[in-house]
Structure 1
């Protein structure tokens, strides 16, 4: 089976090495699939060459290549090429609206609004995080005591003085590993984390909400001063995996799970 692996090997991700991760991962996948790598800007045109599926990995924020991403989605529909992760994700794949939806549903997420007139709905805070609705990777993020963006254009959240951030990584609906950043100011200096049953139940809440049958998902959360977890982000498009932070057996187990997921995805 032939896979088109979409990645931006040269993207300058702060604190992450996209190219290294994808070189490692494709070296393992090549043992099981015929594989071709391409830049996000070339993906739409290459779908016409008859790949069984396109695997979107470390392709960078869509905000940097919106037209190319839209063309890729249209080409996938036109050619009938499967995309992994499937394009039905309800998390970051579809934009940031899900943070508003989850807030309205009362789920454990950092409270989020998109209209300054609704500021009274948020917990009172000395400062609020304001970021573009179409943003990613902290692009355009700033803090202010009096947020005043045009309604519907930005997300507004109370600034949380969290103890640390923790990420839970899943393949399909199966938990693989967790990593945390002990220092809140150093998001990508990660260490292995042993989640409690309550932690995993928290993460699974969002995996089940997203209803993706196949794919890689990363549930990012912060530990509040009260000890609970709040969702920061549900990354279901191209989550960076921080494979270099894992012990070898965990890294191997993840790759094995990914190969199995891709096979079942292609055979479904």
Structure 2
């Protein structure tokens, strides 16, 4: 039975270096607030498997791309699933948590996704483009992403990769959810400066777009970030659905919005750690 104060193991790499962002600041802020409600321990992702016994839930936050420790992450997943350990986000995610195959699946199913294929032989199925984006199926945080001309596509797209047309979008916008509840949106007005973010007033149509992917993933619990780009015709196209350890850019929010998010996250974690069924 869980203790009166749930015991959380909070997984984060406080030393992870990201371009233009300080991931550690976000987790320092969140854990400082969570300590009022939980018995909390922090650990590096490489130590999570050895330390997760004895906790009511394991919270995977800014743990960095798992590509750098794929074997250890796979072992952590296998151990948690075998033991029935509650991991937040739940390990049933179908999006980035499982690689980039979902972009192919959603594209083929007619979802509003940047058109995507995984073979040179299928490039004819994409809209004609002067440049293409080539990225690893197991990529993260833009690792391995390349932009190439059509003439160099064949030599650049070997291996287990995804191929997409390079779209001259108006801006990128991200929608942040706790469980299935929308929290806030941020956008980058300048496409060349992806992480210079500002609050964005999401419209009803924007949220309808984002909720399609939240509903599709059907996590029940957890934090998800729906990343999209605004096409020249005004429509939104999915760039990625981050359901493993999405960076939240809390420093770009006004204080009241940041506090509201932290409250929603805390309430969700409390229900999750106690084994309460998702309200969704």
Q: TM-score scaled by structure 1?
A: 0.97
8 Å contact 1:47–1:75 — kept in the other structure?
no
Any residues of structure 2 matched to 1:119-198 within 5 Å, and which? 119-146=123-150, 147-148=153-154, 149-150=157-158, 153-198=160-205
Conserved? CA contact 1:165–1:222, under 8 Å: yes
Report the alpha carbon displacement of residue 16 of structure 1 after superposing the two structures with TM.
1.2
Q: How does 1:6-25 map to 2 (within 5 A)?
A: 6-25=11-30
Q: Which whole-Å deviations, capped at 9, do the CAs of 1:163-203 have from their partners, x for residues lacking one?
A: 11000000000000000001101111000000110000000
Look up the match of 2:268: 261
Displacement of 1:262 in angstroms is 1.0
Residue 108 (1) aligns with residue 115 (2):
no
Cα distance in structure 1, aligned partners of 2:24 and 2:50? 22
Tell me the secondary structure at the aligned position of residue 265 of structure 1. Answer: helix
Q: CA RMSD in A?
A: 0.9
State how far apart, in whole Å, the 1-side matches of 2:256 and 2:148 are.
44
Question: 1:227 is matched with which residue?
Answer: 234
What are the Cα deviations for residues 214-261 of structure 1, in whole angstroms up to 9, with x where unaligned?
000000000011111000000000000001111111011001101111
Tell me by how many angstroms 1:116 deviates.
0.5
Q: State which drifts further: 183-192 or 75-84.
A: 75-84
Question: Number of aligned pairs?
Answer: 266
Where does residue 29 of structure 1 map in the other structure? 34
How far apart in 2 are the matches of 1:196 and 1:188? 22
How many angstroms does 1:80 deviate by?
Answer: 2.4
Structure 1 stretches of 4+ with a deviation exceeding 3 A read none
| Unaligned ranges ≥5, structure 1 | none
Structure 2 residues without counterparts, runs of 5 or longer: 1-5
Matched position secondary structure for 2:52: helix
How much has 1:144 moved relative to structure 2?
1.6
How many Å separate the matches in 2 of 1:111 and 1:37? 39
Cα distance between partner residues in 2 of 1:249 and 1:19: 21
Deviations 1:126-147 (A, max 9, x none): 0100011111111111112232
| Alignment match, 2:69 | 65
Structure 2 Cα separation of the partners of residues 47 and 193 of structure 1: 37
2:50 alignment partner in structure 1:
45
Task: Tell me which moved more, 211-220 or 67-76.
Answer: 67-76
Instruction: Name the TM-score, length of structure 2 as normaliser.
Output: 0.93
| Secondary structure of 1:217 counterpart | strand
What does the per-residue CA deviation read over 1:57-84, in whole Å, with 9 as the maximum and x for residues that have no partner? 0000111110111111122123321000
**Contact 1:47–1:79 (8 Å) recurs in 2:** no
Distance in 2 between residues matched to 1:16 and 1:76, nearest whole Å: 30
Shift of 1:21: 0.4
